[in-house]
Structure 1
Amino acid sequence: MNKLLLLIDTRFYYDREILKGIKAKIDEYQLKLTIAIESIEHADEILSEQWDYVIADFDKGDRHRIIPRLNSNVLIYSSYAIEHPPESVSTLVNDNEQFACLALGQFLQNDIHNVAFYMEPRECNAGWANERKQTFDNHANRLEFKYFENVKEAIASRQFPLGVYCASDRSARKLVNFCTERNIAVPTQVSIIGTDCDDAERSISPLPLSSVNHDPYMLGQRCMDVLLKAKRFKRVLHEKFQPASLMNKKSTQEEINQDHIVNKALYYLHNNFHFNIKVQQVLDYCRVSRKTLDNRFIKCKGVSVHQYLATLRILKSKKLLRNSKDSIESIALQCGYPNQSYLYQIYRKQFDYTPCEYRQGLNAM
């Protein structure tokens, strides 16, 4: 019978859920495998045996010295990008960029344009926390949010409403505590999103935490799928694991009309409207029908997705006309219009004046 070695720490809930996901896939495929769960402390014993498959948590630093010495079908998973993975080893890493997109999409849905990132001091040296911060910073700046480097200073200067994405649910819980102790209203003044849907942290939070749902059970299933696919195709695979959704609770949600599909669509629209995208591309990204997305948009935002996209482009064009000296042709292209003639048509139809007349009127004021 083939043997599967798991280098994970089942003392923790997260690892136990990964184990359940791995076992579910083994049962689904009806694989005849003997599963061994070992500690890296038993390195000599591990290396003395022959393993057919190995799945290891690469976030634990002590894994690095033993994994390259295992002559097996090996997959390592990590909560952030692995710059130099061992040769002949497949990888599955969290897509922290998608985590940031989900958080920013939620802030867009709630019309929050001041944002910040927070991690508690003990997380500052963690690779996963810093990768989450970097990707959030980059996307926030790209989408023209007003980004605050220091969360507590932003709160002290009352930059409300403020949306804060946190490296973990622990950081989110501590930020909620910080706000409640100072009579800062969550979520009306500060909207807070954590990461990982940590049941322990969420259970002791002063109010239910919103969190990026990074499902360790699904991660375990994906680990087994990637490992088996790598063996079948006889090549090393490097894949990313994306979260399924954002769990909306009281740290972000005040009104009833919250929708994770609208959240996802909003992020895509704000990140891609300048590429002359059509509604169909939004539908493909969200994997829903036009009717479904329009119904959800109307319920959440009061307009259809097409109307939202049209307004987004108009607002961006007016901002550029006010604040830049770019040509009308350049502004049209930056806003997703095919040319300046199209932009002129839009302005004449909606406002009965041209982009040039709008700019001249501003200059005359």
Structure 2
Amino acid sequence: MAPHRIALLFNANKVYDRQVIAGIGQYLNSTRVEWDLFMEEDFRCRMRDIHRWQGDGIIADFDDPDATDALCNLTMPVVAVGGSYHDAAAYPVNTPYIATDNAKLVRLAYDHLIEQGLQRFAFYGLPPNPRSRWALEREGAFERILAADGMESTVYRGSPTSAGGWGHAVEELVAWLRSLPKPIGIVAATDARARQLLQACVIGEISVPEQVAIVGIDNDPMAQLLTRIPLTSVIQGAEEMGRTAAHLLHQMLRGATCADTRVLVPPVGINVQASSKHQPVKSPHVMRASHYIRQYACLGIKTEQVADYVGISRTVLEEHFKRELKQTVHQAILQHKLETARELLAGSTTPLTDIAVRCGFTSLQYMYAVFRREYDCTPRQYHEAHRQIIPS
């Protein structure tokens, strides 16, 4: 029997879409199902001529309104993937739908910020757009959660991301952040928006996470690479969505009727990083110094440079650190370098020499000496004991 011809209509340049597609691939690799897959060569989603598709089935991103319009009346099996809706009437009719649970994504981010001891919260979303209805759903979920807790919600949508208006948009974002009561926890609609918050905090000299703690959604590796302060992010169950969508389409190709099927997939968890690890600090000097250390510790900065940045003498800064954090400035710098090294050792296959350089140690031997002193093991032993399984 010839394999079924299946079209995958996604914008695979986005991390969420790629994860869904990865889940589809995992389903195919774990079963005997054989599909002849079609995707655009540049990984973009185009609906042109889709009504002329001579295939057997389609899995499509229904967050794209063009997909809803173009695919709802096709006679072949179609499985929709997209965001969940608070209003059940917003789901497409007579189309099986696999959704990321927007309310649970926001709830996980909010609960994490609550656990950090924060009592004020805001949401950084997106301007209304038919192609980002999921962002408004997340915003609405945030407002409902805070209303249920008897708290006032603060929402800022900002401006669309564009090269021409970016300078003005950043100025507005910095002004909004400065206007907020602090400390405060902010949930961003995406990691891309969270990254903008981190950049604005750096520009506005707002301490993260002492004054503003930030949580994004997507767990996008690219966002991590483009920020000096590691970003906390909610991990969507996008791969599970892909596996579920593929299984559902497989059943439909075998004659099953699934038109009324609706599956909400919860988040996998939350990747907690420095951007949200809030700890109350009274001294503005310690806040400012900690913000600087978090950005530049791995570049080999010294206590004198931190004091110069804060604008006070080394002696005074050391007094503030010992009173607030019970450690010296040097110890705080070393602690950040060690935390970064531990993350790299556990989550990557980067050579030890490269890790030592990236974390600001003067030599691999020095990193070994510090590890033995602090953790009673070598970096290699730490890697063997804590390494994660890296997908091939």
Q: TM-score range by the shorter chain?
A: 0.5 to 0.7
Kindly indicate whether residue 61 of structure 2 is the aligned counterpart of residue 54 of structure 1: no
Q: Which runs of 4+ in 1 moved over 6 A?
A: 122-125, 151-154
Q: 1:156 to 1:48 in 2, by over 3 A?
A: closer
For 1:21, give the aligned amino acid. Answer: G
Would you say 1:67 and 2:71 are equivalent positions? yes
For structure 2, list consecutive stretches of 5 or more residues without a partner in the other structure. 157-172, 280-392
Kept in 2, the 8 Å contact 1:124–1:130? The answer is: no
**Corresponding position of 1:102:** 108
Structure 1, residues 176-215: CA drift from partner, whole Å, max 9, x if none?
1222222221111111001111222221123111111114
Q: CA deviation at 1:235?
A: 2.8
Q: 1:205 and 1:43, CA in 2 relative to 1: closer, same or farther beyond 3 A?
A: same
CA 1:136–1:121 in structure 2 vs 1: closer, same or farther (change >3 Å)?
Answer: same
Aligned mates of 2:122, 2:47 — CA distance in 1: 43
Distance 1:112 1:133 in 2: 19
Kindly indicate whether the alpha-carbon contact (under 8 Å) linking 2:20 and 2:240 is maintained by their aligned counterparts in 1: yes
CA contact under 8 A between 1:47 and 1:69: conserved in structure 2?
no
User: 1:106 & 1:135 partners in 2: Cα distance?
Assistant: 16
TM-score, normalised with respect to structure 1:
0.62
- Partner of 1:160, secondary structure, is coil
Equivalent position to 1:162, from 181, 184, 193: 184
**Contact 1:90/1:227 (8 A) holds in 2:** no
Paired with 1:125 and 1:49, the residues of 2 have a C-alpha distance of: 23
Residue segments in structure 1 that go unaligned for 5+ positions in a row: 256-365
Q: Aligned in 2, Cα 1:221/1:136: closer, same or farther, shift over 3 Å?
A: same
User: Which residue, out of 222, 227, 233, partners 1:200?
Assistant: 222
Counterparts in 2 of 1:218-257, with a 5 A limit?
A: 218-229=240-251, 233-236=256-259, 237-254=261-278
Pairwise CA RMSD: 2.8
Distance 1:18 1:139 in 2: 27
SS of 2:275's equivalent in the other structure is coil
Distance 1:253 1:40, change over 3 A: closer
* 1:154 CA displacement: 7.0
Change (3 A) 1:187 1:9: same
2:146 to 132, 136, 140: 140
Secondary structure in 1 matching 2:59: strand
Seen in structure 2, the aligned counterparts of structure 1 residues 213 and 123 have a Cα distance that, compared at 3 Å, is: farther
Residue 314 of structure 1 corresponds to: none
Secondary structure at 1:178's aligned position in 2? helix
1:268-307 equivalences under 5 Å are none
* C-alpha separation in 2, matches of 1:165 and 1:54: 34
| Structure 1 counterpart of 2:123, one-letter code | F
Q: Which amino acid in the other structure matches residue 58 of structure 2?
A: V
Distance 1:11 1:133, change over 3 A: closer
User: Which of 2, 5, 24 is residue 3 of structure 1 equivalent to?
Assistant: 5
What is the number of residues matched between the two proteins?
Answer: 254
Secondary structure of 1:201's counterpart equals: helix
